[in-house]
Structure 1
Amino acid sequence: MTRILISPNKYVQGKGVIKELGEYLDDFGEKVLALCDPVVLELFTDKVKEGLANKDVKLEEFNGEASKKEIDRLKEMVQKEKIEVVVGIGGGKTLDTAKAVSYYAGLPVGIVPTIAATDAPCSALSVIYTEDGVFEEYLFLPSNPDLVLVDTKIVAKAPVRFLVSGMGDALATYFEADACSVTKAPNIPGGTQTITATNLAKLCYDTLIEYGTAAKEAVEAEAVTEAVEKIVEANTLLSGLGFESGGLAAAHAIHNGFTVLEETHSKTHGEKVAYSTIVQLVMEDRPPELIEEVIRFCKEVGLPTTLVDLGIEEINEEDILKVAETSSVEDETIHNMPFEVDAEMVKDAILAVDRLGK
């Protein structure tokens, strides 16, 4: 099969770079829809306006869920206002919505994450949820964002939980890509892995283990250090390229399974992915010392290692089986694993990780 690697057209990262946002959009148009989550409008409206001072801007508040209803609402607005470029500013669901709107409207898109909580910014993918927050489907897009711009000064001011959540999402990157390299499962663009993608995924994991704790401590002080820059890049760029061109396997499928339990809805995407990554490692029968390393890392930075950490106070095997069944439906990425997977296997691994995490 043909090897394929895809990436954003341009990636920009650094302190204060949001001031240059308008300049980076010059090639795409003058009339901008800036879709912002409520926190951005509350805390960073002045910075957004300053960065887009050379554009004709319509600021619009995101309603909080990356649902088809919200995408349709914004698509109508884009057409009515004759928008030329869509910019998403905020967290993962805001960004996924901006990408979906730009796709349906046939417009370029700029992505400005204000937290380093997921690998969503760089991808040619939007995760669509129901209006109640339950995973519904992946929307695969024909191209990656035209621009991804990350202001690390803004990221460092966000609650540290978001940076840690991004580390949880990034934690899965190498292990899922590694599983796909064995099965030669197709990656997101439909090819197999380049050695570049495989090595970026490994670099992502190595960066987390080496710099994750130091970056967390720096962000707790609202400081931007080299460790923070490295972890923001790992969470955003390395994880984005690694999962997309490396492939997805069990961890993200199990995450999707956990969304059926209301108790987990208060947990972030990355928090659920971190626990699900350990579940994948147990399913694979990885060496105990590796599983211990991952669990130790999660505990050090504050990622879930038990079901209680995920909000599941009382363990009900029927509920865990529902998670496992949702994780292993026919078209889920869990079937990219190098062995046959069924719901019972997933359930047992989920319960085993809970015990290991304790």
Structure 2
Amino acid sequence: MLERIIAPGHYRRGAGAIEAAVPEIQALGTRACLVGGHRALAAASPDLEEALAAAGIEIVAKTWYGGECCPENIAAVAATVKETGADFLVGVGGGKALDTSKGAAWQAGVPLVAVPTIAATCAAFTSIAIIYDRQGHFLEISHHAVNPALVLVDSRIIAAAPGRYLAAGMGDTLAKYIELRATSMAAASHLALAGALTLAHLCYDSILAAGPEARAAVEDRAVTPALEKVIDAVILISGLVSGLGGDDGRTAGAHGVYEGLTASPLTRGYCHGELVAFGNLVQLVLEGKDAGEIRQLAAFNRRVGLPVTLEQVGLSPTDGPSLDLVSQAAAGSPDMANMPFPVSAAIIRAALLAADHSGRELQEYITQGGNQRG
């Protein structure tokens, strides 16, 4: 039997999405616990508090998620939910805050309202959580996470967030097609997987077309059709890809490189999607894809502010020990094992350097007056 958790109960996106969700919120109970990042809670709390009050719901706690999606923080948030007697949890913020919230809601046995304040991943839409240790080193992909009952995406809040996060979301979403195209080769064909691949390709094409304009919109803090197209690609359509693809369509080389990069303390200051964006280029190298496809993606990365070189993810092509560490961690990651052919640490190291070389060539070409559209 084919089983998939396809989507949350409700998805609302648009300016004023939080205020418009009072009927759906009322169905979840009368006591809410809010959890998220400090800046995220500050950005979303005014609208959330107004909507919850209009729904006759008491906020019994408002707490920080802990700064990392690790087992200790998930357990702490779950304990707060239980101690306060909250009927449901409202998770607010980026991917790590939302993944912590999904894990905590699963442990506490309550529904979750996911309120992303940045469009940096599809975390608000999915029923998995990416688990790290306290230091931010990747540990596992956990299925001990709830399927959100309600996702509220206020375009005005996304537009007001730093553009770096939207770019990171684009990098993470582009990986859906790059990785699914590879992993689907080794899977038995079925309609859900075919649908996932079609939607992943739609995400890819939509982001390449609308991404630069969307990035410009957030610099102006403006809600535009291009921005809302990218928001839906990053959160809604990308989330559907994960739900439809299931275990046959999971992440692969690009996320394997990301997991390898998190093994180095030098990469700690970079967003998930920024590291995945460089991983996209590395995976294309691993697969021996056409140089024109790699140049097109690298040129897009550069236009929207995503990395194309090792230096732009905190590393140096001459730092042998760090490259060895990253390559070995990537080779041992669960996502790299999803590639349709064996990938060793030596092969990954060579691909990292090849992607870096290509990125530096592109930068030099543009500096000399070339067309960065590739």
Structure 2 residues not aligned, in runs of 5+: 361-374
Which residue identity is paired with 2:220? Answer: A
Residue 334 (structure 2) pairs with residue 335 (structure 1) = no
Which residue identity is paired with 1:332? Answer: P
SS of 1:11's equivalent?
Answer: strand
- Give the one of 301, 306, 311 matched to 2:309: 306
Residue 356 (structure 2) pairs with residue 354 (structure 1) = yes
Residue 254 (structure 2) pairs with residue 287 (structure 1) = no
Q: Cα RMSD (Å) of the superposition?
A: 1.9
Aligned to 1:137: 140
1:355 and 1:210 map into 2 onto residues whose CA distance is: 26
Change beyond 3 A, Cα 1:266–1:123: same
1:167 and 1:343 map into 2 onto residues whose CA distance is: 27
Change beyond 3 A, Cα 1:292–1:5: farther
Change beyond 3 A, Cα 1:112–1:337: same
Aligned to 1:272: 275
Moved more, 293-302 or 133-142: 133-142
Identity, in percent, stands at: 36
Change beyond 3 A, Cα 1:192–1:183: farther
2:241 and 2:321 map into 1 onto residues whose CA distance is: 34
Q: How does 1:148-167 map to 2 (within 5 A)?
A: 148-167=151-170
Which residue identity is paired with 1:177? Answer: L
For residues 303-329 of structure 1, the C-alpha deviation after alignment (integer angstroms, 9 at most, x for no partner) is 000011112246312221211111121
Residue 41 (structure 2) pairs with residue 41 (structure 1) = yes
1:171 and 1:315 map into 2 onto residues whose CA distance is: 28
Aligned to 1:220: 219
For residues 65-93 of structure 1, the C-alpha deviation after alignment (integer angstroms, 9 at most, x for no partner) is 11111111111111111111111011111
Aligned to 1:102: 105
Deviation at 1:21, TM superposition (A): 3.9
2:201 and 2:257 map into 1 onto residues whose CA distance is: 21
For residues 155-214 of structure 1, the C-alpha deviation after alignment (integer angstroms, 9 at most, x for no partner) is 00001111111011111010111111101189xxxx984322111100010011110001
CA contact (8 A) 1:71 1:101 kept: yes
Structure 1 residues not aligned, in runs of 5+: none
CA contact (8 A) 2:317 2:353 kept: no
For residues 23-77 of structure 1, the C-alpha deviation after alignment (integer angstroms, 9 at most, x for no partner) is 3222221111111210023344322211211211122222211111111111111
Change beyond 3 A, Cα 1:144–1:176: same
Which residue identity is paired with 1:354? Answer: D
Normalised TM-score (structure 2): 0.90
CA contact (8 A) 1:34 1:59 kept: yes
Residue 66 (structure 2) pairs with residue 66 (structure 1) = no
Deviation at 1:337, TM superposition (A): 1.4
For residues 232-261 of structure 1, the C-alpha deviation after alignment (integer angstroms, 9 at most, x for no partner) is 011111222224523211111110110011
CA contact (8 A) 2:127 2:145 kept: yes
2:316 and 2:11 map into 1 onto residues whose CA distance is: 41
2:80 and 2:328 map into 1 onto residues whose CA distance is: 39
CA contact (8 A) 2:65 2:77 kept: no
Deviation at 1:141, TM superposition (A): 3.6
Which residue identity is paired with 1:18? Answer: I
CA contact (8 A) 2:15 2:156 kept: yes
2:76 and 2:5 map into 1 onto residues whose CA distance is: 33
Residue 87 (structure 2) pairs with residue 84 (structure 1) = yes
CA contact (8 A) 2:43 2:117 kept: no
1:352 and 1:143 map into 2 onto residues whose CA distance is: 40
2:146 and 2:196 map into 1 onto residues whose CA distance is: 17
CA contact (8 A) 1:185 1:247 kept: no
SS of 1:29's equivalent?
Answer: coil
